[in-house]
Structure 1
Amino acid sequence: MNVVLWILAGVLAAFFLAAGLGKLSQSKEKLGANANMKWTEDFSARTLKLIGTAEVLGALGLILPAVLNIAEILVPLAATGLAVIMVGAIITHGRRKENQPIIINAVILILALVVAIFRFGPNSF
């Protein structure tokens, strides 16, 4: 099970690192030009940077504490934080009646919850 959790954490980390860096490196206008990012119209540029920062920190928190063997409790906490971000994403897309992103967000939410539950419990470090 440990290998499966590492793979899930790696996939989640790669996803959130890419998503977060995209939000940090691009302007609100450029993000909004993407058909899949129309939701950015509902948020200020500062909020988008905050979301991007949280995603990058969450991605790092999924991997670095366990690899460096320092404060491993941060791994399930990071997974929980990323799950909260996905709940927010689902709510945002639901309000905008955007069904396709909700499915993707729900899958990512489930993966983050699996990592959080198992790293808090039976497969902690």
Structure 2
Amino acid sequence: MALSQDLKERIVRSVVDEGFSQADTARRFMTTEATVSRTMKTYRERGTVAPKEFTPGPAPKLEPAHLEWLRAKMEESPFLSTYELTPLFNEAFPEVAVHRSTVLRALHRMGFSVKKRRASRRKGSRKG
């Protein structure tokens, strides 16, 4: 279970300002020594126990021109699979060269969905 920021700050004050040992601090706040140790390590490394700021992942590889090409291709040939579309994309934009999953995610973001074929009934009766 995550500790509240207030509790982390009180742990740091207990060790740094009030001079309690980590073991005494753990007993005082009814937590484990490992938790106090991790909290103090974070404080020593970063100077604070505040949560890290959110850092977004890598920038998308596909630019608006790429997305427009994909949209046009899907409107032109709506039954293309990503297995067929990806090589066409990589041929048109060799400087980007993306994986099939990248194309699939881009299509999903644009509102295209993958349709599965329904199983058809077999002809004749089944014996058994």
* TM > 0.5 fold call: no
Max Rg structure:
2
Q: TM-score when scaled to structure 2?
A: 0.23
